[in-house]
Amino acid sequence: MWVYEKKLQYPVRVSKCDPRMARYLAEQYGGADGELAAALRYLNQRYTIPSKVIGLLTDIGTEEFAHLEMIATMIYKLTKDATPEQLEKAGLGPHYVSHDSALFYNNASGVPFTAAYIQAKGDPLADLYEDIAAEEKARATYQWLIDMTDDVDLQDSLKFLREREIVHALRFKEAVEIIKEDRDQKKVY
C-alpha cells in the first residue's frame, strides 16, 4: 500500500544541542493543536464529509504525518547529545526518567496526548471551520517557536511548516465554499 522513501518532506537541520527548544517543540508533537492531533482529526472526519472533499482531508491528514516526522526529527536532533543535567535544566528531567531519549506524545508542559484533542462533529461545515481554526492555531504556534530560537537552520524548517499550515487553512476555506455551493444547489432526482 505504501512506498516508503527514507526522506523527510523538507530537510531538518539544527545547529546545536538545545533541549529547551526540544521541549517547546513537543507542543507540535503531542499537543492539542499539534501534528498528531491534526492528522487524526482529518483522517477521522473523512467518514462524515461529502465525497467532493474527502480527498482533501486524506491529502492533508497524511501530510500532517509527514510533519509529525519532521518534528520528531527536530526533537531528536536537539536532544541527541544532551546530558541528563542539560535535560533536567530544560525541564525534561521527568521525561528523561520515564522515557530516556525516546519520543513520547505529550505537549510542551509534559501533559500526555489525549483523544479529547480530536474534534469531529459530523457536520461538514462545523468540522471544516474547526480544521481552519486548528491550522491557524498551528501557524501561530510555529511563529512563536521561530521566535524562541536563534538557530537559523531550525528556523528554516519551522518556517516551512508554518507555510504549510497557511496552505492547509486556505484549502479548508475552499472546501467550505464547495460544501456551501453544493448545499445551496437545487437537488433534482
User: Is 35 annotated as contributing to ligand binding?
Assistant: yes
Active site residues: 35, 64, 67, 135, 165, 168
Q: Give yes or no for residue 110 having a pLDDT over 70.
A: yes
Contact 33, 138 (CB under 8 A): yes
Overall pTM > 0.95: no
CA angle 23, 43, 41 (to 5 degrees): 50
Classify 56 as helix, strand or coil. Answer: helix
DSSP symbols for 12-24? ---SS--HHHHHH
Whether residue 64 is annotated as binding a ligand: the answer is yes
Q: What confidence tens digit (pLDDT) does each residue in 6-48 have?
A: 899 999 999 999 999 999 999 999 999 999 999 999 999 999 9
CA–CA distances in Å: residue 158 to residues 14, 51, 123, 133:
11, 32, 32, 19
67 is in an annotated binding site: yes
Residue ranges of domains in the chain, CATH in brackets: 19-115+122-184 (1.20.1260.10)
| pLDDT tens digits, one per residue of 52-96 | 999 999 999 999 999 999 999 999 999 999 999 999 999 999 999
Q: What is the pLDDT of residues 126-141, one digit of tens each?
A: 999 999 999 999 999 9
